[in-house]
Amino acid sequence: MFNWFRKKKLDPRLPTPEDDYDRAVLADIARVGWSVICIDDGPTPYQFSLGLYHSHNHPEIIIFGLPRDTGGYIINQVGGMVLLGNTIEPDRYYDDYTNTGNYFKTVDPEYYGDYCGYCRWLYRGSDFPMYQCVWPLKTGEYPWDDGYPPEGAEIQPLLAR
C-alpha cells in the first residue's frame, strides 16, 4: 500500500519514560495506539500523532494552523479510520476529516527535527513515515496553488517533499 517507504519490523519496545508526561503519552499509545501531541508555542500551533506507525504501521499525521481541539479531532478521526482498517494515501483529496476537504502530503524527513522531536524520541531516530494533513484557506486555495498568500504559508507551512 505504501510504496514510498519500506515496511519494517517495528521495535515492540517503547522508550523508557522520563516523566509523567511521557508516561501519559505511552499509556495513550498502549490504550488506543497513538497519542496527539499539541504544540502551541512558536509562530503557528500544530498537532501531530505519536504512535500510529508503531501500533498500526500507518504514517504519523501532522496538521498546522488549527486550534488544538480541531487539529486533535482530525488526528483522532484519522486514527479511528486506521483502527477500522483504512489507510490514508498521499496526494489524494479527502472530505472525510474536515468540512473543507483536505489532502495528505508526504512529509520530508528533513523537517522531523524541527517539528516532531517527540516522534524521533519514540522511534529512536527519523526512520518513520509522516503525512501532513493540508487544508485550504477560506478562499479555497491550497499551499501549492497559484495565488496562495504568504500569510497562508505562515499559518500552514508545507513540509512535503
pLDDT digits (tens, 9 = 90+) for 48-100: 999 999 999 999 999 999 999 999 999 999 999 999 999 999 999 998 877 78
pLDDT of residue 12: 65
Q: Residues 6 or more apart from 94 whose CB is under 8 A from it?
A: 88, 101, 102, 103, 104
Q: Could you identify the residue written with the cell 476537504?
A: 101
| Average pLDDT value for the chain | 90
Global pTM value: 0.90
7 has pLDDT over 60: no
CA distance 92 to 116: 23
From the list 22, 132, 122, the residue with the least C-alpha distance to 74 is 132
The per-residue pLDDT for 6 is 44
Mean pLDDT of 28-36: 95
Cα(156)–Cα(105) distance, rounded to whole angstroms?
Answer: 13
Confidence of residue 41 (pLDDT cuts 50, 70, 90): confident
**What is the structure's pLDDT at 97?**
75
